[in-house]
Structure 1
Amino acid sequence: MNIGQAVVEGGPRRPRPSVMTALATTFALVGVIIGGPISSTLLTLVLIPTL
């Protein structure tokens, strides 16, 4: 199986890691924009693991 087939076959089966990564990045960026590094750190280390 080549890489392209693996991506096409595995994509629908495991969307959770991609979604978790996208959400973590989004929340971290929102924290930087709104409250700076402290709120970004708290969001990333406290809020994201509880989701």
Structure 2
Amino acid sequence: GIDFIFEEGNPAGIKALLKIKGITELDVRLPLIEASISLQEKLRQFVNNIA
């Protein structure tokens, strides 16, 4: 399922998912960090599989 969206804490996974869907950019301010490349790829695969 989509549980891995919280794998790296909030809001990294959610912001990455919104970027993949074209809803927002991936900009985050310190002390927050972007989702890792591996998590972004998992999310991209998830979105492609449900679309």
- TM-score, normalised by the number of residues in structure 1: 0.31
Q: Which structure: greater helix fraction?
A: 1
Bigger CA radius of gyration? 1
